[in-house]
Amino acid sequence: MKKLINDVANVVKEQLEGMALAHPELTVRYKPTFLCRADAPIKGKVALVSGGGSGHEPMHGGFVGQGMLDGACPGEVFTSPTPDQMVACAKAVDGGAGVLFLVKNYTGDVMNFEMAAELVAADGIKVQNILIDDDVAVKDSLWTAGRRGVGTTVLAEKIVGAAAEAGYDLDRCADLCRKVNQYGRSFGVALTSCTVPAAGKPTFDLGETEVEMGIGIHGEPGTHRSPIAPVDVLARYAAEQIIDDPAYTRTVREWDGAGWADKVLTDEPFARGDQVIAFVNSMGGTPVAELYAVYRTLAAVCEEKGLTIVRNLIGPYITSLDMQGFSITLLKVDPEILKFWDAPVKTPGLVR
Amino acid sequence: MHKSQILDWLRRLDQVYTEKKDYLTDLDAAIGDADHGINMTRGFAKVMEKLPEVADKDIATILKTVGMTLMSSVGGASGPLYGTFWLKGGLAVDGKEALSAEDFLRMIEAGVDGIRQRGRPEPGDKTMYDLWAPVVAALKTRAGNGDDVAALVAAILPVAAKALADTIPLQARKGRASYLGERSIGHQDPGATSSYYMLETLNEALA
């Protein structure tokens, strides 16, 4: 393992220390660990908090700032953060309008954020948890933990962050976040494994001439392995998995003010005439130039399928350590979503 | 079962998780995200730091401290699940300085109920619940026999070992392993394995 680290046990802490030095507009706290806007809490504004395992930078810490997240809770590498972090962060950023937890659908993240919501609500703070579950590589929700939260998370943090900045209350932020999640779909492809610092070796073995289709963002396996193919073939496959994905139904749990309530949600498939934001993401080890080769094919497939790309985002935004590979996210937009996508944002990881 | 035995149990558990760190992580790498050994070791290192502060308190306080510590240091899915187990287990034996067989059953039952509420597992999902469900059933069957806790634990250890092995052919339907579909078949569940060590070390501590 070759990595720019000191002691493996201090990887996350030392990276956060560097981030705090580089970005005085953020406050970084330890014991428990979280980041927040230095100007938090902002009175009367809904506070957006996300979090998850580290190793996906710039998500989430790099998206803390004006027009996006108020706070983020980094866990150990690829390990969900803990409820005490989330509660401390929520209390630091709540400006009286409540806290929206944006949660990627992984068993650990979901359970920790549910405990946090219970604790935050017990302290009299309004709270809601909205799940992001957009990875179409996971076909069914009945026999799995459901679709994983991947690329749509970045877009949701941007869009809902702008809505909160514009004065949306907690319910409207939650509704918008749920809508963005239901309008977004993603698919990832890995060319190599990633190496978790504490493990010291690649998470899985992938042959020199193989790719893993439908990869998650923690090196968890995809749907199948294929021989390496030209980018046109790989990008087309990913794009078609997303665009041809049928309706998807699952049950999510949301906080009803006193307890957890099951909610059945169905995401409708894309349709000809839809306008979309196209997001081509690097898994960390793939250079940006190659992402443009992916985008070239994606644009052609979208045109064939009758989708109009109205905005794009290209670069490493939700990574998987040093993994080579890419993911595509398509998000159907309406005027509300587009307006907040276009709103200003000023964070270490995304500026406009 | 005396307080000193519970403290001994926790120390043994810390040792076992340290010894089995790579093994648990390898089991997790096969069907999950390769961090279970790392997380359990980190969590119990924190428990060992906290233990001196509460070692002279009652059993419930000790168990609740273990739960709170794991909840705030383990992360992942095992943090909330084990955190809830020890916390609820502790609450079930409030004020006790020693545990009878009935107390012990109540503690385990409350802890496992906590796991069930938090994770909502079904039997056969290939989770730690597949170890705990048959263990609780076996404990209930034997609890009225007049066994003390040591005899009870010794008697149910083979049940636990069988339940652990029985996770191997299961297809995961919860957690990250569920994304593997059929590829999760043939691997022992890491969470059930770390749960098995709880009973194995308890048996040693009571011997």
Q: Express each pLDDT in A81-134 by its tens digit.
A: 999 999 999 999 999 999 999 999 999 999 999 999 999 999 999 999 999 999
Task: Find the CB nearest A199 among B34, B74, B79.
Answer: B34
Is any Cβ of chain A less than 8 angstroms from the Cβ of B191?
A: no
The minimum CA-CA distance between B171 and chain A, rounded to whole Å, is: 9
Is any Cβ of chain A less than 8 angstroms from the Cβ of B33?
A: yes
Task: Find the CB nearest A143 among B33, B80, B178.
Answer: B178
Longest dimension (CA), chain A: 55
Q: Is the peptide bond before A58 cis (omega within 30 degrees of 0)?
A: yes
The one-letter code for the residue type at A142 is: L
Q: Which of A213-227, A267-281, A296-310 has the lowest mean pLDDT?
A: A213-227
Is any Cβ of chain A less than 8 angstroms from the Cβ of B73?
A: yes
pLDDT of A7: 95
Give the dihedral sign, CA A21/A22/A26/A28: negative
Q: What is the pLDDT of residues B122-154, one digit of tens each?
A: 999 999 999 999 999 999 999 888 899 999 999
ipTM of the complex, rounded to two decimals: 0.86
What count of Cα atoms within 13 Å lies in the side-chain half-sphere of residue A282? 18
CATH of A8-184+253-267+335-341, picked from 1.20.140.10, 3.40.50.10440, 3.40.50.300, 3.40.50.2300, is: 3.40.50.10440
| Cβ atoms of residues A213 and A224 within 8 Å | yes
Nearest chain A residue to B31 by CA: give it.
Answer: A220
Q: Do A115 and B38 touch (CB under 8 A)?
A: no
Is any Cβ of chain A less than 8 angstroms from the Cβ of B178?
A: yes
| Cβ atoms of residues A19 and A348 within 8 Å | yes
pLDDT of A310: 98
Q: Return the bridge partners of A279, or none.
A: A313, A329
Q: Which residues of A touch B (CB under 8 A)?
A: 32, 53, 75-85, 106-108, 111-112, 114-115, 138, 143-145, 148, 196, 198-199, 203-204, 216, 218-221
pLDDT of A118: 92
Q: Do A107 and B176 touch (CB under 8 A)?
A: yes
Domain containing B150: what range? 3-206
What residues does each domain of chain A span? 8-184+253-267+335-341, 186-243+271-332
**From the centroid of its chain, how far is CA A115?**
20
Alpha-carbon distance values, B113 to A165, B126, B133, B175 (Å): 42, 17, 10, 18
Residue A141 has pLDDT above 80, yes or no: no
Matching residue, tokens 């340290």: B18
Give the end-to-end CA distance of chain B in Å, rounded to a whole number: 11
Query: Which CATH number belongs to the domain containing residue B77 in this structure?
Result: 1.25.40.340
What whole-number distance in Å separates Cα of residue A111 and Cα of residue A117? 10
What whole-number distance in Å separates Cα of residue A90 and Cα of residue B13? 34
What whole-number distance in Å separates Cα of residue A321 and Cα of residue A78? 9
Q: Is the peptide bond before A224 cis (omega within 30 degrees of 0)?
A: no
State the average pLDDT over residues B80-89. 96
Q: Do B80 and A112 touch (CB under 8 A)?
A: yes
Chain-wide mean pLDDT for chain B? Answer: 95
Number of domains composing chain B: 1
Residue B78 has pLDDT above 80, yes or no: yes
Q: What is the pLDDT of residues B168-194, one digit of tens each?
A: 999 999 988 888 888 899 999 999 999
Burial of A244 (0-12, 13-18, 19+ CB in 10 A): exposed
The CATH code belonging to domain A186-243+271-332 is 3.30.1180.20
